[in-house]
Structure 1
Amino acid sequence: MKPGTFTHHAPRTLEEALAILAEVSNDEGRVIAGGQTLVPAMALRLARPNHLVDINGIEALRRFETDGAFLHIGACVRHAQLASAPVAGPLRELLRAVMRHIAHLPIRTRGTFCGSLANADGASEWCLVATTLDAHMQAQSIHGMRTIPAADFFQGYMTTALAPEEILTGARLPVLGPDTRFGFDEISRRAGDFAQAMCLAVFELQGGLMRQVRIGIGGVAGQALRAPQAEAACDGQPPAAALFKQVAAVAARNVEPTIGSSEAELDYRRALVRTSVERALARAARFTP
């Protein structure tokens, strides 16, 4: 199939894009950057926008730099660029490790980090990263800019706090210190498929003990989830395989999968969570900065 008719807008500045979106947002106006979800949906007539505001020509939205405390990722930064993020240390290695799991090469070279956040799929690797690291998203409209923490930004399956007239202009990830360890695990049927379950585990190793533990889980619900009970079970403990097995069981017991049509499938998802959390923690313990 082919998409329906639409008007293509190609602003050259952010101010121009915001003004256009303010005019067309109530007339099925949509923003497009990578288009890796929107374009296939349009081809199948599952999405029929009357206006596309194409932000690819806006140089300011290609910002990709660190100020020492945060890594700033503009709306037009592609997935593949995260493999060589302009930041040293564990955060760069984390982004490189996660990026390899995103779909396939053509999608990674065209799709964008912020586009993935705005799409807010519960199986999105970048949504898991943003949730686990407490990222902050920058939304802008003709009325000004606001910063939205990940905990408030993601509001369910493909639902965010963005208003129709707002553009997600960028995201900020905290730079991770040299004592940070991380581990990422993803379970899918085939390489490049949507995750059935995944886990990102991050902690600081101080005096041989785990501190500032963050455990994020994705692929099992409408949005990525934190695992506070599992985080608390790790905090202040030395890394150990037996502990990781116990913590993974805690995470599996407390997770509430929403993807699945039967109790058997929900139990299967919990089992995947247990495996993924245990693997991610073990990889974090082995990580060498």
Structure 2
Amino acid sequence: MTRMIGVIGGSGLYDVAGLEEPAWTRVETPWGDPSDDILTGRLDGVAMAFLPRHGRGHVHSPSSVPYRANIDALKRLGVTDLVSLSACGSFREDLEPGDFVVVDQFIDRTFAREKSFFGEGCVGHVSVAHPVCGRLAAACLEAATAAGIRVHMGGTYLAMEGPQFSSLAESRLYREVWGCDVIGMTNMPEAKLAREAELCYASVAMITDYDSWHPHHGEVDISQIVATLTGNAEKGRQLVGHLPRLLGGREAACPHGCEHALDNAILTAPEKRDPALVARLDAVAGRVL
């Protein structure tokens, strides 16, 4: 299977530079419209698809992002390797604004979002014990390093509902008690849905601030975040530019089994499955249905 790189761009990252034959492509899904049309093309000869998570012009809040439609649309286009770039706050002194973190774990504190493609009529349970593809995460680390970005490997991402930032008490809880490393509003349920869609998924947190825990930085200042976003977005584009040489042309299956996440995951007996739901799952779970 030929690999196709997908990129979801977070706040401040609404396009990818250097694509050959770029085209904004509208993709219809049974889960509604994605956040925006998807920018398709080739980068250094490798097929790529880019989706701005919040839409061009930043029209979606973290809670209104159509996560299921986004993942379905990318899978429907043929994406195999999905890299998520997102603005995040830091819970560690050494994770400074402007740094990138290739996260490997999540704590999901969101509550107002649809979190699964499966449900009544077709019940499915996938493992997200290790929600990030190790091969893809390693490629992101190498790409960031090649781009001259100060990058850290590994960390736990606390996904909050938003759109408000943390209270001081919450920030201290997440940092001091739960031991989280970064905080953001968008990687859940995105990572869970990517696993259900059998996509290799990696998340790169682009640090913009210290949330509200830091005694010398005070509460989140949106003007400072916006300023940092601009620099991080350019770094993100540079990281993406190195991915084709690291991932392009590979036809081997994922060594971590991401492409077989649905093996034995669907529990509903075939004769009991809801035909309407099964039809909606054509792109996501067609391999096993």
Query: Would the TM-score normalized by the shorter structure come out above 0.5?
Result: no
Highest relative contact order (Cα 8 Å, sep 6+), 1 or 2? 2
Q: Which has the larger radius of gyration?
A: 1
TM norm structure 1? 0.28
TM norm structure 2? 0.28
